[in-house]
Structures are given as C-alpha cells and as structure tokens.
Structure 1
Amino acid sequence: ITAFSTLMEPQMCGLLAKCLQFHIVGAFTVSLGVAAFCNFAVAKPRKQAYAGFYRNYDCMKDSEEMREAGIFQSAK
C-alpha cells in the first residue's frame, strides 16, 4: 500500500491549457527567430543588392544597348 501512496495523481484539470501555453510560447519564439533570420539573411542583402544596382543604373544607356542588340523590333 505504501508503493501506491507515493505515486502522483494525474493532472485532470487544466492539462490542455498548460500544454497549449508552453507550445504557444515556443511557437512564438521560433517564429520570431525565423523572421529575424530571414530579415538579416535574405531581405537586407537583397535590398543592398538592388540599391547597388540602381545606384549606377542608366536607363537611357540600357535602352540604347537593347535597341542596338535588336530586342526592340519597332525602334530602329
């Protein structure tokens, strides 16, 4: 009888709420980490690449090169 008295009783009330609270906090933390990683690993380098491209971009020169290459059929 002493062996059965040392066992803990199972939690019957609030078990779902306790598990959900743990998993919601974990999911929020993981999603925040993934968002920060995507921002610093993908978005910032992409923005810097676009800024570097358009810093020295000359649309008139580019259109002249395309016209000379024959891309524009109607512009001779």
Structure 2
Amino acid sequence: MYQGQLTTMAPEVLPKPQMRGLLARRLRNHMAVAFMLSLGVAALYKFCVADQRKKAYADFYRNYDVTKDFEEMRKAGIFQSVK
C-alpha cells in the first residue's frame, strides 16, 4: 500500500431513507396486524369463556327446581315475611 500509490476508498453510498408517506405506510401495516390480533382474541374469548359459561348455566338450570330451592331457603329462615 505504501509503494508510492495513494488509494482512496470510496465510502459506500447508503440509500436515502423514505420520509414521505412513512407514517401512512407503517400505520396501515400496524392497523392490519391489530385488526387480525383483535379478531383472534375475540374468537378465543368466545370459544374458551363465553361458550363454557353458557354450558355451565345450561347444566345448572337443567336440573334446577325453583320450588324446592324456595322451600329450603324458607326452612332455613332466610325470608322474614314467609313462615
């Protein structure tokens, strides 16, 4: 390198960053991801929580007897106006 020649190393040219429309492009991508994520969470909630809760209520009221429950509460003295 030092034999009488001077070599210059040219710096690599970096591409110019995109500034115009950057927010709109990133916002569009983030909105698409947020929409898909919210649909996934809503479906997960429906199948894991809401359907299980509906099934539990249906199982409870399938064998529920209102008069029998009322009589048990009356005998226990919960109601003051009913003897």
Tell me if TM exceeds 0.5.
yes
Counting aligned pairs with the same residue, the percent is 60
> Where do 1:61-76 residues align within 5 Å?
61-76=68-83
* TM-score after normalising by structure 2: 0.83
Paired AA for residue 17 in structure 2:
P
> Where do 1:1-76 residues align within 5 Å?
2-4=10-12, 6-76=13-83
After superposition, what is the alpha-carbon deviation per residue over 1:12-70, rounded to whole angstroms, capped at 9, x for unaligned?
21101100011000100111111011111110000000001111111011000000011
Instruction: Look up the SS of the partner of 2:61 in the other structure.
Output: helix
Paired AA for residue 3 in structure 1:
P
* TM-score after normalising by structure 1: 0.91
Q: Which runs of 5+ in 1 are unaligned?
A: none
Aligned positions, number: 75
Q: Which runs of 5+ in 2 are unaligned?
A: 1-8
For residues 42 and 67 of structure 2, what CA distance do their matches in structure 1 show? 38
Larger radius of gyration: 2
Larger helix proportion of the pair: 1
Measured on the aligned residues, the alpha-carbon RMSD in Å equals 1.4
Instruction: Look up the SS of the partner of 1:3 in the other structure.
Output: coil
